Amino acid sequence: QKEVEQNSGPLSVPEGAIASLNCTYSDRGSQSFFWYRQYSGKSPELIMFIYSNGDKEDGRFTAQLNKASQYVSLLIRDSQPSDSATYLCAVRAGDKLIFGTGTRLQVFP
């Protein structure tokens, strides 16, 4: 079992809809979780982090964490074509991050 798992997608949503991206992790002791966005041909950039169970909102983005079920999700409200990218989930393991392979999101007009 991979340490951090994501559905590779693509996840296709219409403009204005809510995009829901999910990630599961294997280490029950993990405490810190991150979402990175990577446009095609570009480098990853941090968009959200969450440490506590529940929801964390930042603009159109909401990160959700459920440690009991070992999953973390990212919701993007009012999706825009400019949100089309690959979203990488990362889990802190000691002094490093373990990344999932990413979910490709496509937002069509």
Partner 1 sequence: DAGVIQSPRHEVTEMGQEVTLRCKPISGHNSLFWYRQTMMRGLELLIYFNNNVPIDDSGMPEDRFSAKMPNASFSTLKIQPSEPRDSAVYFCASSPGGPNEQFFGPGTRLTVL
CB of 50 to partner 1, least distance (A): 12
CB of 46 to partner 1, least distance (A): 7
Quick one: which segment of 52-60, 61-69, 72-80, 99-107 binds partner 1 (CB under 8 A)?
99-107
**Cβ-Cβ contacts under 8 Å for 4 (sequence gap 6 or more):** 23, 24, 25, 26, 89, 90, 91, 98, 99, 100
Phi (first) and psi of residue 81, to 5 degrees: -55, -30
CA distance 29 to 77: 30
State yes or no: residue 88 binds partner 1 (CB under 8 A).
yes
Quick one: which segment of 9-17, 44-52, 56-64, 70-78 binds partner 1 (CB under 8 A)?
44-52
Quick one: which segment of 10-18, 37-45, 60-68, 73-81 binds partner 1 (CB under 8 A)?
37-45
CA atoms within 13 A on the CB side of 56: 17
**CB nearer to partner 1: pick between 75 and 97:** 97
Q: How many residues does the chain have?
A: 109
